[in-house]
Amino acid sequence: MKKLTLTDIQVKDKKVLMRVDFNVPLKDGVITDDNRIVQALPSINYVVEHGGLLILTSHLGRPDGKSNPEFSLKPVADHLATLIETKVHFATDCIGDEAKKVIEQADFGEIVLLENVRFHKEETDNDEIFSGQLASHADIFVNDAFGSSHRAHASVAGVTKFMEQSASGFLLEKEIKYLSESVNNPDRPFVAILGGAKVSDKIGVIENLLNKVD
C-alpha cells in the first residue's frame, strides 16, 4: 500500500490532527532555539493555506505524566503566532472539554495547539482510550514528528487506529528520503556517528548499520 503524504489527502474543510516535535529548549519561559518549530512550518502552512483546521500535538520535556507549568507548550503557541499569518489558539489540555471547546471555537484556516501530551501518563503507555480521545478531535492524522516517530506513544502510533486517513508531513517525508538514500546508496567511505542520551534506543540502529558502514 502506498504511504500517503500531505499532498495525497484532501484537507479543505477537514480537521487535521498533526503530531509535531516542538520539544524545544526553554529558559525562563523563553524559547532559545526555535529550529524545530521552523522545520514544521511547511506542513503547517500547507494545511492552513488549503483550508483545514489544524490541531497540533506535541510533547515537551519529561513531565512524568503530570501537569507541570515548566513544560507547558503555551510559550510555543505564543512563538508560533509570530511566525505564521493566522490565528493560533491554545488549549490548556490535550483532551476533555477544554480541548473540545477551543477546537469548536476555531475556524478552518486557523491553528489549535494542544497542551503537552505527556501531562498524561497514558501518552507514553500508548493507552487505547487516550489515543481515541486524541483522535476524536479530527478527521485526518498527519505525522510530522520525525524525532518521535520511533516511539509507540499514543499521539504517534495509537491515534492511527482511530483515523480513516493517516499521512506523513513534509518534514517526516524529507527525513525518511534522506536517510534511505544515505543508507542504501552512500558515498564511500561511509562512517556512522551516533549521539544522544538514551543508548538503548541506538542498539537496533547500530546492529542494522554494522554491515553497511566502512
Residue 63 lies in a domain: yes
Residue 192 lies in a domain: no
Is residue 184's pLDDT more than 70?
no
Residue 208 lies in a domain: no
| Domain interval for residue 34 | 6-184
Residue 1 lies in a domain: no
**Those residues with Cβ within 8 angstroms of residue 27's Cβ, 6 or more apart along the chain or in another chain:** none
| Longest CA span, the chain | 56
The pLDDT of residue 201 is: 66
Q: What percent of the chain has pLDDT over 70?
A: 87
Q: What is the pTM of this model?
A: 0.86
The pLDDT of residue 1 is: 47
pLDDT digits 0-9 by tens, 90-121:
999 999 999 999 999 999 999 999 999 999 99
Q: Please, is 192 exposed, middle or buried when counting C-beta atoms within 10 Å of its C-beta (0-12, 13-18, 19+)?
A: middle
Domains: count for the chain: 1
Is residue 37's pLDDT more than 50?
yes
Q: The CATH number of the domain where 113 resides is what?
A: 3.40.50.1260
> In the structure, how many helices (H) and strands (E) does the chain have?
7, 8
Residue 195 lies in a domain: no
Cα of 35 vs its chain's centroid, Å: 14
Distance set, CA 7 to CA 11, 38, 48, 146 (Å): 9, 20, 13, 18
pLDDT digits 0-9 by tens, 159-171:
999 998 999 999 8
